Amino acid sequence: MDLNADLGEGFGIWPLGDDEALLDLITSANVACGFHAGDAPTMRRVCATAAQRGVAIGAQVGYRDLAGFGRRAIAYEFAELRDEVLYQLGALNAFCRAYRTRVRYLKPHGALYHAAACEEMPAAAIVAAVDDFDRDLPLLCPPGSVLAQLAQGAGMRVVAEGFADRNYLPNGRLVPRTSPDALVSDPQEVANRAVRMATERAVTAVDGSVIPCVVESICLHGDSPGAVAAAELVRAALIDAGVTPTAFS
């Protein structure tokens, strides 16, 4: 099972999350590309450390929204969004090349992630950008989403993702971040949910129902409180359950 986390989300003198510690625990790093978070020095630093530790580097692309951390809906034309996604891929890949590695996958962030999950235009723009960049690049996204369907239809590899530290609705979607129960804050509960995703392919929704969760990668948010403690418990719990953390790419 792959373990991914959102990294490189600081900006200038403002750090966010403990990238160094998480890079010792995860197998794939979703690196912010400067639009919703991150900047050039941060991208270089995370790429250098990830390459040194053998962690796969993915481009976490988002809306051009530093002030809103990429979590605000923004109206785009198809071509503009396609080109901004392609721009972010190219920027991160330049830093990867400096350390003799490359971008290994793409994952949308925040509002773009949710829009591409259920709307055709943003999903199609992401698929078009990947087609321009490298059509062999895997896309990390929710199983059964619009993005997953369009990418699979285009012959691209889709990697289904689950969230151990986010609550789910009975329909399989994430509880919106505006809700007080959006996050799972207890590190032990996060670990228990990760093990269930990996071994039973299921997760318990907020109403107590058990829903399918067939995924290849589990996300741990690097900006969540107690992110490192949760990641340590998740990794240890998976190993104890006979599941080896391994990058999908």
- pLDDT confidence tier of residue 227, bands split at 50, 70 and 90: confident
Give 168's DSSP letter.
Answer: B
The DSSP element (H or E) to which 228 belongs, if any, is helix 227-240
**pLDDT exceeds 80 at position 166:** yes
**pLDDT exceeds 90 at position 50:** yes
pLDDT by residue (tens digit) across 140-155? 999 999 999 999 999 9
For the segment 90-101, the average pLDDT, to the nearest whole number, is: 98
**pLDDT exceeds 80 at position 138:** yes
For the segment 197-221, the average pLDDT, to the nearest whole number, is: 95
**pLDDT exceeds 90 at position 178:** no
Structure tokens at 9: 């989300």
- pLDDT confidence tier of residue 211, bands split at 50, 70 and 90: very high
* Cα(49)–Cα(23) distance, integer angstroms: 8
pLDDT by residue (tens digit) across 181-203? 999 989 999 999 999 999 999 99
Q: Note the pLDDT of residue 13.
A: 85
**pLDDT exceeds 80 at position 70:** yes
Range with the lowest mean pLDDT among 8-17, 65-74, 122-131, 193-202? 8-17
**pLDDT exceeds 90 at position 175:** yes
- Residues 28, 223, 192, 158, Cα dihedral to 10°: -40
Q: Note the pLDDT of residue 221.
A: 80
CA atoms within 13 A on the CB side of 78: 8
**pLDDT exceeds 80 at position 217:** yes
**pLDDT exceeds 80 at position 222:** no
Q: Note the pLDDT of residue 185.
A: 86
| Torsion angles phi and psi, residue 194, rounded to 5 | -65, -45
Q: Note the pLDDT of residue 167.
A: 95
- What's the gap between Cα 123 and its chain centre? 15
Mean pLDDT for the chain overall: 95
Range with the lowest mean pLDDT among 117-121, 162-166, 225-229? 225-229
Q: What is the pTM of this model?
A: 0.95
Q: Note the pLDDT of residue 34.
A: 97
pLDDT by residue (tens digit) across 14-43? 888 899 999 999 999 999 999 999 999 999
